Structure 1
Amino acid sequence: MDRATAKGVFLILLATLCIVLMNTCARVSSIHHGPVEMVFYRGVVALSLLVPYMLATHPVSVFKTRRVGAHLYRSIIGNIGVGLVFWAYTLLPMANATALLFSAPLFVTALSPLLLREHVDGQRWMAVALGFGGILLIARPSMGLVTDPASMVGLGAALCIALVDMALRNLGRTEHPLTTVFYFILGGVIFSAPYTFTVGSLPQGHLILWLAGIGLFTVVQQLGKTAAYRFAEASFLAPYSYTAILWATLIGWLLWREWVSVRVVAGSAVVIASNLFILKRAR
């Protein structure tokens, strides 16, 4: 592994850890704030850090765009997804919620023929089917799912992530990554502000640092991923993102004494293996 690739690996590992830490902060903050409020406070903190960084490292033109509609779509779907992610982590153990989010690449593959007009061969369809079988192991659907739809919240978040990934393929052709991140976070603040100001509540003293952590880790993981892809190919870095399950398991045990069941471990392994097979076939 050359030096540049090693930098890419380090940055994607750092970004993955920050994603788990962001969701950990959201789970702690959920004792007093709902998902919409957390999207708002996350955005306020993130923008206060991101905007100075963009001004210090890029010309003002980095804020300009002619693709308002595309950014609006990405922001709406993306922030709905963020809200669902935060909600999922309040309903499920850390490892379970993280494992369900791994289904996002499966949704991308399944939806790409319809939305992107991309060809998916038979072997990748088999991998998608196998991957969703792993999701069933994790979610353990039953008649009680109607009254306790926690796993469906996680899968809804994964679906939003998949739709965002497909939207980013289009935006990435013309837009700077920081431009896309800026409008995504700005949209979240604008969309969540009315609810937060009318129904939500001000941050409690003992939760301020946790709320700030959501925004801080949001910026670090976004910048980390953006930088990582400059040093190594996305297809090479993708497997390292699955270290999230290790961090989620460790944090879940340390903070909440959550034990991971054999069913969740087996389901996670099936989903990760399916994703890696799809990635290999796509390459």
Structure 2
Amino acid sequence: MPGDRILTGLALRLLAIFFLSTMSALVKLAETRGASLPETMFYRQLCALPIVLGFVAAGPGLRSLRTTRFKGHLTRSMIGLVGMVFTFGAVLLLPLAEATTFQFTVPIFATLLGALVLRERTGWQRWSAVLVGFVGVLVVSQPGSSHVPLFGAFVGLMAALFVALVAIALRQLRDEPAGTTVFWFSTLTLPFIATAYAFDIRSHDWLTWANLVAIGMVGGMGQIALTAASRAAPVAVVVPMDYSGLLWATVYGWLLFGVLPTPMTWVGAPIIIASGLFIVWREHRLGRQKVRAMVEED
């Protein structure tokens, strides 16, 4: 039944956010144990591949990995690679809760990019939501404060910007199976990351190696859960589940690093979340209006 599919989509999105929040905590933990940024990125992609291949083999089959859209996959992968640098960098530079909060600005950047790059019509309501969202960013970042370094805030915002850019690149690949897109992202970025990693190979104890392997496996499962959630229910319905990431980031930050969000983060985060939810709701409503108009024309 349709209602069952929506509940499944919500559950899968919650599971995906749990996996990705866990991955972020493991990335930060690996850095405290001496792992470098290129190293964590390398094992993130390498150890995710078996998970992705197993998912593809159990679904559409390995033949679905063949593609005639290599250029599109390469473009998406290069954007995603830069985005991963910023995403992991934000986790390393900021407390987990603050790094997660900056990720909530993705709908804001998606609106900006839609208007500036895709020339999409954007009304005053969505522009107002964008401005409100950036007020929330200022509240969280508290320019000049020591808890959220200005450079760390910049990296966190750039991470969200590149997530929005990836979403635009994926529009050009929407006819490709999701597993195919994830596979080519891992495969095409590995040589670049491996080159950087080759200049900074380090020795570790077995716990650190296990940590690095877990980053890739948990990240791969998170990607699969995200993909499955999008297939089970509309994106606009499941996106609010993303904000559960702040709770996981708070728990991991406290348990693993003894750090709790600042009071201003709890003030600013709801402002950013409200802005993002309004933008998502507005996009969903406009999409339904377009569909209704097309039906009436027919």
| TM-score, normalization by structure 2 | 0.89
Structure 1 distance, partners of 2:48, 2:17, is: 17
The structure-2 alpha-carbon separation of the partners of 1:116 and 1:61, relative to structure 1 and needing over 3 Å to count, comes to farther
Task: Report what 2:93 is aligned to.
Answer: 91
The residue identity in structure 2 corresponding to 1:122 is W
Give the Cα separation in 2 of the matches to 1:84 and 1:204.
27
Contact 2:52–2:182 (8 Å) recurs in 1: no
Q: Given that residues 33 and 200 in structure 1 are in contact (C-alpha distance below 8 angstroms), is that contact kept between their aligned partners in structure 2?
A: no
Q: Is the 8 A contact 2:21 2:249 kept in 1?
A: yes
Match of residue 283 from structure 2: 282
Aligned residue number for residue 108 of structure 2: 106
Q: CA deviation at 1:170?
A: 2.0
Question: Could you tell me whether the CA contact under 8 Å between 2:107 and 2:164 is conserved in 1?
Answer: yes
Paired residues of 2:53 and 2:62 also in contact (CA < 8 A) = no
Amino acid at match of 1:253: W
CA contact (8 A) 2:143 2:150 kept: no
Rounded to whole Å, the distance in 1 between the matches of 2:146 and 2:216 is: 35
Secondary structure, in 3 states, of the residue corresponding to 2:259?
coil
The equivalent of 1:2 in structure 2 is 3
Tell me the residue number matched to 1:246: 247
1:158 matched to 2:160? The reply is: yes
State the match for 1:57 in structure 2. Answer: 59
Please give the alpha-carbon distance, in whole angstroms, between the structure 1 residues aligned to 2:118 and 2:85.
25
The letter for the 2-side match of 1:53 is F
The aligned residue for residue 179 of structure 1 is: 180
Q: Is the 8 A contact 2:55 2:224 kept in 1?
A: no
2:43 to 41, 44, 54: 41
Q: What are the residue-to-residue correspondences of 1:180-259 with 2, within 5 Å? A: 180-259=181-260
Equivalent in the alignment of 1:75 = 77
Task: Tell me, yes or no, if the aligned pair for 2:21 and 2:248 is still in contact at 8 Å.
Answer: yes
Is the Cα contact below 8 Å between 1:94 and 1:249 reproduced in 2? yes
Deviation above 4 Å: which 4+ runs of structure 1? Answer: none
Q: Secondary structure at the match of 2:172?
A: helix
> Distance in 1 between the 2:117 and 2:123 partners?
16
Ranges in structure 1 where 5+ consecutive residues have no aligned partner? none
Deviation at 1:66, TM superposition (A): 1.4
Give per-residue Cα distances to partners, 1:128-174, cap 9 Å, x unaligned. Answer: 011011011111223989x85111111111111111011112211x2
> Contact between 1:135 and 1:267, CA under 8 Å: does it hold in 2?
yes
**Distance in 2 of aligned mates of 1:102 and 1:154:** 10
Aligned pairs (5 A) from 1:129-140: 129-140=131-142
Render the CA deviation track for 1:34-71: whole Å, top value 9, x for unaligned: 22221111111111222233234323331111111211
| Uncovered stretches (5+) of structure 2, i.e. residues with no partner | 285-298
Opposite residue 246 of structure 1, the aligned amino acid is L
CA distance in 1, matches of 2:216, 2:78: 18
Aligned pair in 2 of structure 1 residues 144, 13: CA closer, same or farther (>3 Å)?
closer
Paired residue secondary structure (2:136): helix
* CA distances 1:205-242 after superposition (whole Å, capped 9, x unpaired): 22112111111111111111111122211111111111
**2:270 alignment partner in structure 1:** 269
2:151 and 2:268 mapped to 1: Cα distance?
18
CA distance in 2, matches of 1:103, 1:148: 16
Q: Which amino acid aligns with 2:67?
A: T
Q: Is the 8 A contact 1:23 1:89 kept in 2?
A: yes
Paired with 1:148 and 1:234, the residues of 2 have a C-alpha distance of 32
Instruction: Tell me how many residue pairs correspond in the alignment.
Output: 281
- Give the Cα–Cα distance (whole angstroms) in 2 for the partners of residues 200 and 160 of structure 1: 27
Identical positions, percent = 35
